[in-house]
Amino acid sequence: MTDNDARLTVLAALAEPLRRRLYLHVATQSTPLSRDEAASALGVPRSVAAFHLDKLAEAGLLEVEYHRPPGRGGPGAGRPAKWYRRAAGEVDLSIPERHYDVAASFLAQALAEAGEDLPRARDALGGVARRYGRAIAAEVKWPARGSRRQRLARLAALLAGHGYEPRVIGSEIALGNCPFRRIAELQPDLVCSMNLDLIDGVLQGIGESGISARLDPMPGRCCVALLAS
């Protein structure tokens, strides 16, 4: 089986609409989900949710862990339950095959090795990222007014369309995914700075002065977080 064959097999697992909805729901959670929680969230029987969750796990799209629900332990607590979280890997497919990530890694490495020209190269990258962020902002008409909660929700919806998987938590937005993860693993400082410039460009583009972006790297999510004042 070729790499593309394997990718097609994984993508085929998402062709079933309910299975795709389950995957997207699990993927947006900050903590693992049980079968009962997944079934309740989508309004389907537990047995149906369990079937599709296990199919997603077999395809490598979800990871499975076993533990008892909080507050249940000791003799008579029963067997540990299955809990599901999005797998750390990623799947992409292009026909004919392309390797844009490899080219991007070369460019990031070249920037990192620019020597005396590195500050100029970083400034240029930051400028490109901010312009791209402003272009993202131009996709929507941003209302002039709104509560802090409404503004955070609108911004989260905008960023969701660009792969960041935002989660509004109180007065903050945590970005559950870095769209540039592969390159960030090779050049974290460079990519995190680029991400911050990009998000700053979005905020500038929508004219949002009450929400600020800052670097807040944490495992399993984007290095940028947003805070509303």
pLDDT tens digits, one per residue of 102-126: 778 878 888 777 777 778 888 888 9
Instruction: Spell out, as residue ranges, where the chain has pLDDT lower than 70.
Output: 1-5, 69-78, 91-99
pLDDT of residue 1: 53
In the chain, domain spans: 3-86, 118-228
Structure tokens at 141: 């008409």
Output the pLDDT for position 87: 87
- pLDDT on residue 98: 62
| Res 93: pLDDT | 62
Position 38 scores a pLDDT of 94
pLDDT of residue 45: 94
| The model's pTM | 0.72
CATH code given to domain 3-86: 1.10.10.10
- Report the alpha-carbon distance of residue 44 to residue 185 in Å, rounded: 38
What are the tens digits of pLDDT across the range 41-66? 999 999 999 999 999 998 888 999 99
